Structure 1
Amino acid sequence: MSENSNIEWTDHTFNPWIGCTKVSPGCDNCYAEQMMDKRMHKVEWGPRGERVRTSAANWREPIRWNARHAQFFAEHGRRQRVFCASLADVFDTAVPIEWLIDVLDVWRQTPHLDKLVLTKRIGNATKRLGEAFNTLMLRDDCAENPLVPWLATWIAGNAPADVWLGATVVNQAEADRDIPKLLRTPAKTRFLSMEPLLGHVDVFSSATGELLHTSGNEYEPGALDWIIVGGESGAGARPMHPAWARSLRDQCAAAGVPYLFKQWGHWHTAVVDGSTGRATFREFASFEQWVSKAQTWVAGGICLDRHGVPLERGEDFMRARDEGGFPVTVMHGVGKKASGRLLDGAIHDAFPVTSLDVGAACGRARGAM
């Protein structure tokens, strides 16, 4: 799927700068910090560290990708997707506003690319776009600068169709806080990245119901256009309970929202169903079943109660029994590669279809006549 990125849901990754500060439980085991700070020593992570702008050659890459859009569409039947940014956050307030202006101008100059802008700071988006516009208006060339009307149109509510706006949400508290912010920010395509998923999340909960529904319980199509789900990998990875991923799959199916299951991460299962050959998660349905089968079923793995809380000692299981924590699910640390991307035996690789996709396909069909 990816040309210049190992990330399953994009073709290219564009990092205009490197560096960030942790702002979420999902950041605890940040892969970008481990790679760029701890291992490669290219940048100091955190509020005291500086953001490091990448090379001019790297900034020219989106322009190059944009220029070859016709060739890509002929080969793949769709537009190119560019993730902005995997090693930083576009709406980080520690970044000079001039850098953001430069990024916005790259987006303006690449209308044939779908820019997938994912942030852990969705509450900053409208403010930072406004700051960028005000800064532009102070420049001597503001009357001739094509970025000014492009950005003014976005701020006025008519967002560019080729900029997909996404928020990272890892638990219910973040969903309740950030989904309304995402829905209030002008965008043609909005999405959630729920990776690492750290708990059960009801995306269409009462906290977001006012914005997600038009009337009663009728879901408003287009309010959220895509949901990505994935577990955590790497050192210190936290397990993703299978029930959490299944629930989001089912929520998306009920709402007609495309669902992409990116990965299990480090934790999955080492058990295979002999009759089907499929990986299977073993469960203790009750405390009594755990007592009789524990040594055989756990086999070096971990047990999670139905809320995803690890159970390590006998008293933990007794508490789960008394507090309604059963059934308990067994998971094993098999690593990202072995765990794969199958959810109940299926790959979930759905993407939103935008007006630009339809327009490009129609244009290609007319050209073939």
Structure 2
Amino acid sequence: MTGKSPIEWCEQTWNPIVGCSIVSPGCTNCYAIPRAYRIRMASEVTDGASHYCGTVKLHESGKAIWTGKVALAPDSALLAPLRRRKPTTYFVNSMGDLFHESIPDEWIDRVFAVMALSPQHTFQVLTKRSARMRAYLSAARAAPVGLEAFGLTLDAMATNPKSRVGEGCILQGDIVHLRDWPLRNVWLGISAEDQRRADERMPDLLATPAAVRFVSAEPLLGSISFRWAKWDGWRDSAGGARSAVNEYDGLRMLDWIIVGGESGPGARPMHPDWARSIRDQCAAAGVAFFFKQWGAWAPAEFGTDPDNAHALYQTEKVAPFDSWKARVYDPDATEGVNWRLLGKARSGRLLDGVLHDAMPARASG
């Protein structure tokens, strides 16, 4: 299943595998869960989305939740990028996580084969399972991906002898080679909502073979410093100690950072200083910075109408608008920022009056 995306940093979504499970606080209000439930309910009366059945269910609270089941999409959805000639930027698996622990490597091979055979497109892959991504891309997966790609090429040629699908791989004797590995049209990224998750996932990302590496700090739920990021690159003579010469060495191994606040029901506000800090770190390191949205909450001037207004502190404590009450809730809090619940559209995308839309250059097919 593919479709035009409202996500500001891609053109379409592509969901070759669906289903997921919650692993960290950034998943709490995942937009994909209610969407998957609606698709699953619709699939009971229409064809084409039956693979969503069993991936979500209603909790006793009345909210939809992931079951942990994953499903491979039918070929009509799985092979969709092969049918599109116009260069397109796809967000891969917006309705799940490509590196979910329940997904077999063979399914991932098939997804990478489609991406290898679509060099005209750019594919953006985001995961919270950074260790699985690192293990997969570091293993000898080019050969099985190449075999999958060759099989898809034969199928395409049988249907259309003029098909250009096979341009992503080379056959030498009985051996299939991919033209690129890692694939230069595939961007690999992690989601990191706070410092703890950034510290856990960044080392895996920086050690993962990739043409483009990026971080999505959305929903941003706390401050994140990418300075002195650790990775498995340099080691001292004693063995094992990680080091860096400059505080931005790790950050410079990234190509792109996206920042965004949370939207939708139950959204949690994002302190503007958290976004400003990442913007400034990117500027210092020469990394592309994309400010996606404030989300449901927008900064408000002090003294504004207190309806739907709260104070947010750097301690991540959210309290009622009245500052005295806020200090009762959190007596050690520093000066707060006042917020109003406006919704994503009214909150906008400007950070300190500036639209930040930087992205890495796309590979040409």
How would you bin the TM-score normalised by the shorter chain? 0.7 to 0.9
Once the two structures are superposed, what CA deviation does each residue of 1:37-72 show, in whole Å capped at 9, x if it has no partner?
Answer: 26744443477443233232222321123x234xxx
> Deviation of residue 219 (structure 1)?
3.3
CA contact (8 A) 2:229 2:251 kept: no
- Show structure 2 runs of 5+ residues with no match: 42-51, 57-64, 152-170, 235-241
Which amino acid in structure 2 is aligned with residue 199 of structure 1?
G
In the alignment, does 2:76 pair up with 1:57? yes
What corresponds to 1:197 in structure 2? 220
RMSD value over aligned CA atoms? 3.2
Show the counterpart of 1:253. 283
**Is contact 1:200–1:307 with CA below 8 Å preserved after alignment?**
no
Q: Which residue of 2 aligns with 1:26?
A: 26
Q: Percent identity of the aligned residues? A: 36
Match of 1:215, SS state, is: coil
CA distance in 1, matches of 2:228, 2:122: 29
Q: What is the SS of the residue equivalent to 1:192? A: strand
Q: In structure 2, how many angstroms separate the alpha carbons of the residues matched to 1:340 and 1:121? A: 30
Distance across 2 between alignment mates of 1:128 and 1:176? 20
What SS is found at the alignment partner of 2:349?
Answer: coil
Paired with 1:262 and 1:213, the residues of 2 have a C-alpha distance of 32
CA contact (8 A) 1:189 1:222 kept: no
User: Which of these residues, 325, 331, 334, is aligned with residue 342 of structure 2?
Assistant: 334
Q: Which residue of 2 aligns with 1:317?
A: 327
- The equivalent residue for 2:15 is 15
Which has more helix, going by share of residues?
Answer: 1
Distance in 1 between the 2:6 and 2:263 partners?
14
Contact 1:282 1:297 in 2 (8 A): no
Q: 1:134 to 1:234 in 2, by over 3 A?
A: same
Question: Contact conserved, 2:99 with 2:127, CA < 8 A, in 1?
Answer: yes
**Matches for 1:264-283 after TM superposition, within 5 Å:** 264-269=294-299, 281-282=300-301
Q: Which residue of 2 aligns with 1:243?
A: 273
Question: Which amino acid in 1 is paired with 2:120?
Answer: H
**Secondary structure of 1:229's match?**
strand
Alignment of 1:167-186 (within 5 A): 167-186=190-209
The residue number in structure 2 matching 1:301 is 309
**Does the aligned pair in 2 maintain the 1:91–1:121 contact within 8 Å?**
yes
Which residue pairs with 2:99 in the alignment? 91
Task: Provide, for residues 78-101 of structure 1, a one-character-per-residue CA deviation record: whole Å limited to 9, x for no partner.
Answer: xx3111110011111212333212
Q: Secondary structure at the match of 1:232?
A: coil
Task: State the distance in 2 between where 1:218 and 1:49 align.
Answer: 37
Match of 1:277 in 2: none
1:218 and 1:202 map into 2 onto residues whose CA distance is: 10
Structure 1 residue 107, shift from structure 2 partner: 1.1
Give the match for residue 60 of structure 2: none
Taking the aligned partners of 2:342 and 2:230, their CA distance within structure 1 comes to 36
Letter aligned with residue 105 of structure 1:
A
Q: Does residue 343 in structure 1 map to residue 312 in structure 2?
A: no
More strand by share: 2
